[in-house]
Amino acid sequence: MLPFEMAEYQDRLRKTKERMVKSGVEVLLVTDPANINYLSGYDAWSFYVHQMLVVSLEDLQPVWIGRYQDANGARATTWIHDDNVISYPDYYVQSSFYHPMEYIAHKLEQMGHRKKYIGVEMDNYYFSAKAYDVLKTNLPDATFKDAGLLVNYVRLVKSDQEIEYMKKAGKIAEETMYKAVQSVKPGVRECDTAAQIYSQLISGTDEYGGDYPAIVPLLPSGRNTSIPHLTWSDRAYQEGDTVIIELAGCYKRYHVPIARTISVGSTSEQLKNISPVVVEGVNEVLNAVKPGVTCGELENVWRNSISKRGYEKEARLGYSIGLNYPPDWGEHTASIRKGDNTVLEPNMTFHLIPALWFNNYGIEISESFRVTENGCETFTNFPRDMIIHPPFMMNQHDGKIS
């Protein structure tokens, strides 16, 4: 069932341990589900209870610790030997009396980690303030260090196999965007377009199925296009609406997001003016991508491009993408923004989404790309423009506007 060769997992573990040594961490408690998956293969919707992977410099294998009923999943989906799968009884789950970290602290002590330098992922969704408190109380002789993003930074440069999975995710994203654009018509409800999107994302292709994206499809319409993170309603599209669609194809937990903006029938003057500015900016940024350039320099390209036209944008332009779980498909490492000194390397992968939001409208035209040896390539092939619809209906299989 493993999606990667053993050698790749070993390589990831080796790089993680190198970073642990540099950070003065002897034992790393990995709680980010994407990091757990990355190192072990573990893949299940069990992250709503406390669980972790324990990586010790001294041990050849990580140890998986989670809920009793999830241990079968750890045995089935990881390369970890069965005797390195440890589980806590169900009365620890969401209880007022017991906390899983009490059990886990005890196990860590038994594993000889009582006085160790222990790294924890301090700002992860799945490492709560209480989890940390209970660990510290029960391991008073350990020294805790913030090892947040330690594994995330190992994930920043993708392997060829990871790129293959992202290409499959890109194919799903592309096909889904065609379906989504076709479904947007006056009288159709936002929820029905969302349903079409989901259906295509999950079915995937005839050759391979799709996985659930870490963020739901976002598809605000009308005035709500000024509000980027609203989810759908059952409002029906109207003539003159603008509709933003942001979605990600997902394959084996690898994501490729894409966003487009659709104008239903007549287009406002504002959108007519702004859309070529965004497209030009995206093109200029993509042209500037190559190894050796920094993320901050890409932002500068964008800023210069749109400032020529009299626009500015405060929010970041994009972020590193790949393997992930809800609630975010971004990797929380490199961002395409001012001051980010990440130097681009081949097989880094980003979602470039220079969205612009105003008081009562917004526009999003995005591309996910991979840094290549001398430039970049996008994961999807979809007309990079605002979609004016009808009379221009998308023709699904040649990718042209007919």
Q: Is 174 in the site for its own copies (CB under 8 A)?
A: no
Identify the residue among 20, 105, 218, 262 touching its own copies (CB under 8 A): 218
Q: Is 227 in the site for its own copies (CB under 8 A)?
A: yes
Q: Is 188 in the site for its own copies (CB under 8 A)?
A: no
Number of CB atoms found within 10 A of residue 373's CB? 8
- Smallest distance from its own copies to CB 260, Å: 18
Q: Residue 199 or residue 268: which is nearer to its own copies going by CB?
A: 199
Q: Residue 157 or residue 188: which is nearer to its own copies going by CB?
A: 188
Which residues, other chains included, contact 130 with Cβ-Cβ below 8 Å and sequence gap of 6+? 99, 101
Q: Is 47 in the site for its own copies (CB under 8 A)?
A: yes
Supply angle C-alpha 326, 332, 337, rounded to 5: 130
The count of residues interacting with its own copies (CB under 8 A) is: 85
Give the whole-angstrom CA distance, residue 371 versus residue 169.
17
User: Environment class of residue 206 by beta-carbon count within 10 Å: exposed (0-12), middle (13-18) or buried (19+)?
Assistant: exposed
Contact (CB, 8 A) for 30 and 53: yes
Identify the residue among 64, 127, 361, 379 touching its own copies (CB under 8 A): 127
Q: Is 270 in the site for its own copies (CB under 8 A)?
A: no
Which residues, other chains included, contact 269 with Cβ-Cβ below 8 Å and sequence gap of 6+? none
Q: Is 42 in the site for its own copies (CB under 8 A)?
A: no
Cα 63 to Cα 20, 105, 247: the distances in Å are 16, 13, 35
Q: Is 156 in the site for its own copies (CB under 8 A)?
A: no
Identify the residue among 162, 174, 175, 211 touching its own copies (CB under 8 A): 211
Site string for its own copies, 356-375 (x = CB under 8 A): -x-x----------------
Identify the residue among 83, 97, 140, 398 touching its own copies (CB under 8 A): 97
Q: What three-state secondary structure class fits 92?
A: helix
Which residues, other chains included, contact 309 with Cβ-Cβ below 8 Å and sequence gap of 6+? 277, 280
Q: Residue 235 or residue 290: which is nearer to its own copies going by CB?
A: 235
Q: Is 303 in the site for its own copies (CB under 8 A)?
A: no
